[in-house]
Chains A and B, each alone.
Chain A
């Protein structure tokens, strides 16, 4: 089953995303900010990254940019989890190499349905 890296500074959101994914049979690795996410990204192989945008230390956009520099994340789908649906955010995300975005409020059914667009 697919291995997903979940990056969010909010424990509860991270737990929920992770729980939802696990209950659908995915494996998850969690990180609490961009820096930790980047570090954990290099410790395994991932089929999908779901990251919050607003985080301390390294935000989701920066994380996305850094991940794309890694050879094994060149084509890995990266989804931004955000409450901001502004075009500006989307543009910045896209520019940094994000695959797409998931608009909060976080909804487990929607998450599972949506990630099927990028991962098995």
Chain B
């Protein structure tokens, strides 16, 4: 019977990647003598090897076998846990990941890295004598397989003398089943020997007193027969002889086998040697035969990412809620069938219930997409570990708030910006140990990652106790790059915001860690495209903190509804600084029709929304107008609107599906009355206003804030 197991490959892959993550994080925390951790690392490798073997991912199996052997030695205490081995194991984890991904996508992988690590592993293993044990085991196994294949069509008759120990049954073995298995190999004749059988009174029903002489006519070889008795060999007397052959033949055969075994061993060693230096033929085949599928497989991999694992409890909860919704619906439709005014109270109650159901359902559905941020954080211990090694700095990473949940899509997109910020903290933030000591700090720097919820947002903080950002240096650099005018006076936060300007880099020399072309401006742009913002706080000599503020989800937004003319717009709450009524005293007209509003010590340009969007309204007078002060790109502007309406959560719908991206609009939503309202894109509107202003006043330098 043939069983197709390919349906289990995805779950094996998922499990393997989880296992690799576990291996990685455990290795990073591994201390000598921590047996439980070594055990769990071993188990993870072991499972991957087992599964890979089943699915024929031979390259993975071979490689993982080496890893497992090394881990086994550590587990048994045959090998000390030293840092060097941990490094090798860490890069082995990388290789396993590469190999598994390659197996999944039927793609090629970085052979240099794998062969380098294979070499390191083999060398490490070779330095310990005990390795041989496991190697030879492997060999015997291969021999077994080899003899399996080498089937003989000729029917031979074997005599089997089988004397089990009396307590054989206590391990769950039953001679009857063994004989059944033998009978499947060929024609079996059974003769029981009852001579050991005691008197009836003395019989212990749990013991075996019989022995057997069996005759098996079969095309199978002796190994096959031995295999049937494999589990009982230690608990019985077993003699297997060829009936019609002369006795000498038997030893000859074992001799052959011995030779075979040696040959196999050589072969295995060769194979190991091969993987060391050059990729094995197998690998080569996968690389050469399938280059064309490469792009296709990549696309497939991307699709796979979009699955989500949901706890059964969450699904059950949803089903309950839907159940309630159905009840409410049937109640309402019954009510509607024959509605009379005296039922109005029931109707109101029903609608109230419907509102409640809908709200709960919405929350639960959103919760399905929420994952703890540990999914994004868990790569950082390794990253910081590697970067610390590379820079020669001593760094401790502290992670807090890993259980804080956020939307899967946001999580996927925030990963890279966070990596960049952490790299930056290692590279530019933490000082070298000698500098730290000279400044009276401990030699070891600390980088902390923290996540917490604040209102409808998640805040992620990346902070270091390093040298802090040198305000003067940043400013000078910005002047040098022509980003600001030298006579501008800027607040600290405005200076720090210069870090996010395109083409800005303060490192005295570009390092290969953070100076890789991707600038902080990209980080900022990515965060903004998620509807979030980033702020910097820093104190010289004490360290810096980058605060990333993100919406919990991309599908729902907390918004302020505003009225402009006949239209209702939604301003994302996350970008609103404050709302106020214009005080005539604080208005300053500069250069033509640009109007600035004095908000404490800042001058905020006023953008009348009706002008930007070309709408007709009665509210065109700035005096006493309503201003919603919003912030994006470190730029505050006051949006002039007719009226402030409610604040509410809205579901974001794309305009791109059936139309196209609209400047100044990030999407649309459907309001309670079924009408559509546009959601304002604050950075987009500021851009719009900018180009509007620039067109109007090509040569003005007075616009200050705006340039």
Chain A positions within 8 Å of B, measured between CB atoms, are 9-13, 15-16, 19-20, 23-24, 54-56, 68, 74-78, 83, 85-86, 94, 97-101, 103-109, 112-113, 116-120
A103 adjacent to B141 (CB under 8 Å): yes
B46 adjacent to A83 (CB under 8 Å): yes
Q: Considering the complex, which residues of chain B in the window 1-30 have a beta carbon less than 8 Å from any beta carbon of chain A?
A: 1-3, 5, 8, 11-12, 15
**Nearest CB of chain B from residue A37's CB, rounded to whole Å:** 15
Q: Which 5 A-B pairs have the closest CB atoms?
A: A105-B53, A100-B231, A99-B172, A77-B172, A108-B3
How far is A92 from B173 in the complex, measured between Cα atoms in Å?
17
Given A9-B43, A119-B177 in contact, is the A85-B3 Cβ separation under 8 Å? no
Show 15 A/B contacts (Cβ-Cβ < 8 Å), sorted by A: A11-B11, A13-B54, A15-B11, A19-B3, A24-B3, A68-B170, A86-B134, A94-B235, A98-B171, A104-B53, A106-B51, A106-B54, A109-B3, A113-B184, A117-B228
Which of B40, B50, B133 has a CB less than 8 Å from the CB of A83? B50
Q: Chain B contacts of A119 at CB under 8 A?
A: 177
B11 adjacent to A107 (CB under 8 Å): no
Given A117-B228, A118-B172 in contact, is the A109-B137 Cβ separation under 8 Å? no
Which of B40, B50, B173, B235 has a CB less than 8 Å from the CB of A10? B50
**Nearest CB of chain A from residue B42's CB, rounded to whole Å:** 7
How far is A106 from B180 in the complex, measured between Cα atoms in Å?
23
**Nearest CB of chain A from residue B20's CB, rounded to whole Å:** 13
A106 adjacent to B53 (CB under 8 Å): yes
A15 adjacent to B8 (CB under 8 Å): yes
Given A12-B11, A85-B140, A105-B50 in contact, is the A116-B5 Cβ separation under 8 Å? no
**Nearest CB of chain B from residue A32's CB, rounded to whole Å:** 12
Which of B172, B178, B184 has a CB less than 8 Å from the CB of A75? B172
Q: Chain B contacts of A11 at CB under 8 A?
A: 11, 15
**Nearest CB of chain B from residue A74's CB, rounded to whole Å:** 7
Given A12-B12, A97-B170, A118-B174 in contact, is the A24-B1 Cβ separation under 8 Å? yes
Tell me the interface secondary structure of chain A in the complex: loop
Q: Chain B contacts of A104 at CB under 8 A?
A: 49-50, 53-54
Which of B42, B54, B137 has a CB less than 8 Å from the CB of A105? B54
Q: Chain A contacts of B12 at CB under 8 A?
A: 12
How far is A104 from B137 in the complex, measured between Cα atoms in Å?
13
Check B181 for interface membership: any CB of A closer than 8 A.
yes
B141 adjacent to A85 (CB under 8 Å): yes
Which partner residue on chain A sits nearest B133 by CB separation? A86
**Nearest CB of chain A from residue B199's CB, rounded to whole Å:** 24
Given A78-B172, A99-B231, A109-B1 in contact, is the A118-B47 Cβ separation under 8 Å? no
Q: Chain B contacts of A9 at CB under 8 A?
A: 43, 47
Check B274 for interface membership: any CB of A closer than 8 A.
no
**Nearest CB of chain A from residue B270's CB, rounded to whole Å:** 22
Q: Chain B contacts of A55 at CB under 8 A?
A: 43
A12 adjacent to B15 (CB under 8 Å): yes
How far is A104 from B68 in the complex, measured between Cα atoms in Å?
14
Q: Chain A contacts of B202 at CB under 8 A?
A: none
How far is A85 from B47 in the complex, measured between Cα atoms in Å?
15
Which of B11, B15, B52, B181 has a CB less than 8 Å from the CB of A117? B181
Which of A12, A20, A103 has a CB less than 8 Å from the CB of B3? A20
Given A104-B54, A117-B231 in contact, is the A77-B46 Cβ separation under 8 Å? no
Which of A76, A105, A107 has a CB less than 8 Å from the CB of B172? A76
Q: Chain A contacts of B169 at CB under 8 A?
A: 75
Q: Chain B contacts of A117 at CB under 8 A?
A: 177-178, 180-181, 228, 231
Q: Chain B contacts of A98 at CB under 8 A?
A: 171-172
Q: Chain A contacts of B184 at CB under 8 A?
A: 113, 116
For the A-B complex with A10-B47, A83-B53 known, give 5 more contacts whose Cβ atoms are closer than 8 Å: A15-B11, A56-B40, A85-B140, A86-B133, A117-B180
How far is A104 from B49 in the complex, measured between Cα atoms in Å?
9
B177 adjacent to A86 (CB under 8 Å): no
**Nearest CB of chain A from residue B19's CB, rounded to whole Å:** 8
A10 adjacent to B15 (CB under 8 Å): yes
A97 adjacent to B43 (CB under 8 Å): no
**Nearest CB of chain B from residue A36's CB, rounded to whole Å:** 16
